[in-house]
Structure 1
Amino acid sequence: MNPVNYIHLFESKTNNAHLITFDNGVDYVVKLYKAKEDKALINEWFAYCIARFMGLPVPYSYLVEMPEMFIETIPNIKDLQYTSMQFASKYINDSVNAHEANIQNIINHCDLAKIIVFDYWLCNTDRTRKNVLLQEKTPGSYYLWVIDHAEILSSFCWTTNDLEHLPQKIIKSATHEMMAKYITDEKELKQQVKIIQSIPTQLLEEILSFVPNDWNISDEEKCELIKTLNFRRYKILPLLIGKFIKRVYRPIHSPSPNDRKT
Structure 2
Amino acid sequence: MTVYATEYIRDVEEGEMYAQLFRCNDGNIYVVKVMSNPRGRRALFNELVSYQLGGLLNLPIAKGQIIVFSKDIFNDPYLLDEMGIQEGPHFGSLFIKNASSFSLDKLPFCENISMLPEMIVFDHWITNFDRWSEPQNLLVVGKEQYKLVLIDHAHAFNGPDWTIGSLIYWTKNTDIIWGGIYQEFVPFIDNEDPFALALKKLEAITNEEIAAAFGKNLPSEWQVSKEEVKTLLFHLILRKKMIRKMMADLKDYFPIWSSSNR
Tell me the TM-score normalized by structure 2: 0.83
Structure 2 counterpart of 1:179, from 180, 185, 188:
185
User: What is the Cα deviation at residue 93 of structure 1?
Assistant: 0.5
Residue 193 of structure 2 contacts residue 257 of structure 2 at CA under 8 Å; is this kept in 1?
no
Structure 1 counterpart of 2:207, from 186, 196, 201:
201
The answer to whether structure 1 residue 97 and structure 2 residue 98 are counterparts is: no
Residue 137 of structure 1 contacts residue 143 of structure 1 at CA under 8 Å; is this kept in 2?
no
Match of 1:153 in 2: 157
User: What is the Cα deviation at residue 34 of structure 1?
Assistant: 3.4
* Percent identical residues: 24
SS in 2 for 1:85: strand
Taking the aligned partners of 1:137 and 1:55, their CA distance within structure 2 comes to 23
User: What is the Cα deviation at residue 21 of structure 1?
Assistant: 1.5
Residue 46 of structure 2 contacts residue 153 of structure 2 at CA under 8 Å; is this kept in 1?
yes
Taking the aligned partners of 2:22 and 2:104, their CA distance within structure 1 comes to 24
Match of 1:32 in 2: 34
User: What is the Cα deviation at residue 113 of structure 1?
Assistant: 1.4
Match of 2:112 in 1: 108
Taking the aligned partners of 1:161 and 1:206, their CA distance within structure 2 comes to 23
Give deviations 1:99-128, integer Å, cap 9, x for gaps: 595543321112211111000111110002
User: What is the Cα deviation at residue 145 of structure 1?
Assistant: 0.6
User: What is the Cα deviation at residue 68 of structure 1?
Assistant: 4.5
The answer to whether structure 1 residue 87 and structure 2 residue 91 are counterparts is: yes
Taking the aligned partners of 1:26 and 1:151, their CA distance within structure 2 comes to 25
Structure 1 counterpart of 2:226, from 208, 211, 219:
219
Tell me the TM-score normalized by structure 1: 0.83
Match of 1:243 in 2: 249
Match of 1:2 in 2: 4
Counterparts in 2 of 1:201 and 1:96: CA distance versus 1, 3 Å: same
Taking the aligned partners of 2:10 and 2:208, their CA distance within structure 1 comes to 38
Taking the aligned partners of 1:72 and 1:159, their CA distance within structure 2 comes to 36
Taking the aligned partners of 2:78 and 2:258, their CA distance within structure 1 comes to 52
- Let me know the Cα RMSD of the aligned residues: 2.8
The answer to whether structure 1 residue 233 and structure 2 residue 236 are counterparts is: no
Counterparts in 2 of 1:4 and 1:200: CA distance versus 1, 3 Å: same
Stretches of structure 2 lacking an aligned partner (at least 5 in a row): none
SS in 1 for 2:91: strand
User: What is the Cα deviation at residue 30 of structure 1?
Assistant: 1.1
